Amino acid sequence: MPEHVYDVVVLGTGAAGLTAALRAAADGARVGLFEKADTVGGTSAWSGGTVWLPNNRHEMELGFSDSREEVLTYLMSLSHGLMEQPLVEAYVDTAPEVAAWLEDNSPVEFETLRGMSDYHPEHPGGKQEGRSLECTLFPFADLADWAHRVTVGWQITGEITMSESPLGRKAPGGVPAEGLERRKLRDERGAGQALVGRLLRGCLDRGVNPQVGCRGVRLLPGSGRVTGVLIEGPDGPFEAHARGGVVLATGGFEHDERLVTAFLRGPLARAVSVPTNTGDGLRMAMRVGADLTDMREAWWVATIDVDVDGWGRVPWQVNTERTRPHTIMVNDDGVRFTNEAANYNALGNAFHVVDAQRFAYVNHPAWLVVDHHFLCRYGLAGHRPPAPTPGWMIQAPTIAELAERMGVPVDALLATVERWNSHAAAGSDADFRRGDSHHDRACGDPAFGGTHQGTLGPIDCPPYYAIRVRCGALGTKGGPRTDTQGRVLDVDGDVIEGLYAGNAMGSVMGMTYGGHGGTLGPGLVFGYLSGRHAAALATRP
């Protein structure tokens, strides 16, 4: 069997893998970077590309105040006993360094996502702005042949940055058409495309060429350590040996039904990540005795099934569709069950409620209910009247008829909408406090100037619409337990020499999500730490 020798082997080309490879190569390591799919970038390239790297230098430059202690206090206040303080400290201490190092040593260029708050800004140490960064537009022309080998998803395709999206503050009226045309000349892309494009350019500049269609399948043991990995490539299997270590940056296990059923705490009906994230890294680590942690958790999101040209029916992550006015969520009893504008990860808890008497997930699947005014003003998953109502949406001229078509009790839905409309008129949601958190208002309609009305608003403009909502995930959080350098620990708590986990590790975040960029932030940090540590082992004299 063919054998190749590297200093560091990285599996997976999402942001975590690219960062690990970049850091290791910058430290002088010879890096083998392998990707299972035929394109690079993973879910990171499909994403908004926002990174939550608190206490970063852009925050300081803009005059925001932040500190290590505040970030630590904030995160630990969300722990519920699931977060390991040393890992959290490693994250908090390294996050500002990673942001600065990437900018100083690669084409990565960040700017602050203005107006976007932490996901629990009222918790101690929480902030209303400053901790979330994103990359500036990146000309894919600079990637030459690689420009066409970066994966592109269906929801966020990179024509605009997140600051220019409805979530951001940069382009209240949208980016003018001539601006978009100009971007096409050099194929300038924002969001996750910009993050991956810039990291990839950085890797290529340092001589790291990803090898696609190469799936890591089994770790190679040798004298008490992991010495490499068996890879199935387009021309057959080969062994990639690693003097310093193997970094697992293979994403989660959300696309493996058996692992999902075995480990997750409640329904995960739709995964919105790349389909190649099937838990390969987890299985490899389990085979060599890794301890596991955070297995019950995922980065939960609410999803609806929509039709997208060229893709067919796909899950769509529901964001502003539930945080803006004139929209609510109800369960099959026709009643609201949560603050719809809460952050998406926290909403997972509402979907997972089991009624002890009925022994049923009473809020899952749920319904999104909006009125015509909402659709005309904001649109929904690419649809906006007067385009014909798509097949994935139920439409009715009255709330009563809508309830009948949804199959929920008519009287209950009528009462729910009437009560919601009275909350909207009063400017206060007495049932679930929607709009009381700065987070909800920041994700509302900016035209209302950060008031409750930016997220409240009556449902009173016919026709009315309903869409099934299912609990989904950006990815799972569980994986091998690691130390503060990303080194995988075994079931006795000892380091498995030569094995690292980037973002495929059991997440540092427990059941929480710090703020916009809360999944990519830890990916960058632990990718960076893993790459640096493995490179140091391989290159030390």
Q: Is 193 in the site for ligand FAD (CB under 6 A)?
A: no
Q: Is 518 in the site for ligand FAD (CB under 6 A)?
A: yes
Q: Is 512 in the site for ligand FAD (CB under 6 A)?
A: no
Contacts of 150 (CB under 8 A, 6+ apart): 39, 40, 41, 45, 140, 143, 193, 196, 197, 200
Q: Is 216 in the site for ligand FAD (CB under 6 A)?
A: yes
Minimum gap (Å) between residue 283 Cβ and ligand FAD:
9
Closest CA to 268 of 432, 477, 466, 443: 477
Report the alpha-carbon distance of residue 333 to residue 350 in Å, rounded: 15
Site string for ligand FAD, 257-286 (x = CB under 6 A): ---------------xxx-xx--x------
Segment interacting with ligand FAD, rule: CB under 6 A, options 12-20, 71-79, 403-411, 418-426: 12-20
Exposed e or buried b per residue across 121-144, where buried means at least 16 C-beta atoms within 10 angstroms of its C-beta? bebebbbbbbbbbbbebbbbebbe
Exposed e or buried b per residue across 168-183, where buried means at least 16 C-beta atoms within 10 angstroms of its C-beta? beeeeeebeeeeeeeb
- Residue 458: cis peptide before it, omega within 30 degrees of 0: no
Helix orientation angle between 520-539 and 85-105, rounded to the nearest 10 degrees: 80
Report the alpha-carbon distance of residue 434 to residue 452 in Å, rounded: 8
Site for ligand FAD in 441-500 (CB under 6 A): 474-475
State which residue, 301 or 330, has the beta carbon closest to ligand FAD: 301
From the centroid of its chain, how far is CA 517? 7
Minimum gap (Å) between residue 49 Cβ and ligand FAD:
5
Minimum gap (Å) between residue 458 Cβ and ligand FAD:
30
Minimum gap (Å) between residue 101 Cβ and ligand FAD:
17
Q: Is 519 in the site for ligand FAD (CB under 6 A)?
A: yes
State which residue, 90 or 229, has the beta carbon closest to ligand FAD: 229
Minimum gap (Å) between residue 481 Cβ and ligand FAD:
16
Minimum gap (Å) between residue 270 Cβ and ligand FAD:
11
State which residue, 51 or 538, has the beta carbon closest to ligand FAD: 51
C-alpha separations of 281 from 120, 195, 477, 490, 531 in Å: 31, 23, 13, 15, 16
Q: Which residue is nearest to ligand FAD (CB)?
A: 14
Q: Is 17 in the site for ligand FAD (CB under 6 A)?
A: yes
Q: Reduced to 3 states, what is the DSSP secondary structure of residue 521? A: helix
Strands (E), 113-235: 132-135, 138-139, 188-189, 215-222, 225-233
Q: Is 245 in the site for ligand FAD (CB under 6 A)?
A: no
Q: Is 250 in the site for ligand FAD (CB under 6 A)?
A: yes
Binding test (CB under 6 A) with ligand FAD, winner from 6, 46, 74, 351 = 46
Site for ligand FAD (CB under 6 A): how many residues?
A: 42
Q: What are phi and psi of 530, to 5 degrees?
A: -65, -50
Q: Is 130 in the site for ligand FAD (CB under 6 A)?
A: no
C-alpha separations of 255 from 297, 344, 358, 506, 507 in Å: 14, 20, 29, 17, 18
Segment interacting with ligand FAD, rule: CB under 6 A, options 15-23, 96-104, 287-295, 320-328: 15-23
Beta bridge partners of 10: 33, 247
Minimum gap (Å) between residue 129 Cβ and ligand FAD:
16
Instruction: Using CA atoms of 184, 520, 8, 289 in order, give the dihedral in degrees to the nearest 10.
Output: -140
State which residue, 13 or 363, has the beta carbon closest to ligand FAD: 13
Minimum gap (Å) between residue 279 Cβ and ligand FAD:
8
Q: Reduced to 3 states, what is the DSSP secondary structure of residue 33? A: strand
Amino acid, single-letter form, for residue 70: E
Q: Is 16 in the site for ligand FAD (CB under 6 A)?
A: yes
Q: Is the dihedral of CA 510, 514, 520, 522 positive or negative?
A: negative
Q: Is 515 in the site for ligand FAD (CB under 6 A)?
A: no
Closest CA to 107 of 206, 39, 182: 206
Segment interacting with ligand FAD, rule: CB under 6 A, options 63-71, 248-256, 420-428, 529-537: 248-256
- Binding footprint of ligand FAD on the chain (CB under 6 A): 11-17, 34-37, 42-44, 46-50, 155-156, 215-216, 249-251, 272-274, 276-277, 280, 299, 317, 474-475, 503, 517-520, 523
